[in-house]
Amino acid sequence: MPTHEGSCHCGRIAFTLEGDVTEAMDCNCSLCRRRGGLLAFFPREALSLKTPEADMGTYTFNSHRLQHHFCPNCGVAPFSEGKHPKTSAMMAAVNVRCLPDVDLSTLSVKPFDGASM
Q: Residues with Cβ < 8 Å from 65, sequence gap 6 or more?
A: 82, 83, 85
Got the DSSP string for the chain?
--EEEEE-SSSSSEEEEES---EEEEE-SHHHHHH---EEEEEGGGEEESS-GGG-EEE--TT--EEEEE-TTT----EEEEE-TTT--EEEEEEGGG-TTS-GGGSEEEEE-GGG-
Cα 74 off chain centre by: 16
How many folded domains does the chain comprise? 1
What is this structure's pTM?
0.92
Confidence of residue 1 (pLDDT cuts 50, 70, 90): confident
Which residues constitute the domain of residue 11? 3-112
Domain membership of residue 117 (yes or no) is no
pLDDT digits (tens, 9 = 90+) for 58-102: 998 877 788 999 999 999 999 999 998 889 899 999 999 999 999
* Tally of CA atoms within 13 A in the half-sphere of 26 that contains its CB: 7
- pLDDT at position 66 is 87
- pLDDT at position 34 is 93
- pLDDT at position 83 is 93
- pLDDT at position 101 is 97
Domain membership of residue 34 (yes or no) is yes
pLDDT at 53 over 90: yes
Domain membership of residue 33 (yes or no) is yes
- pLDDT at position 61 is 84
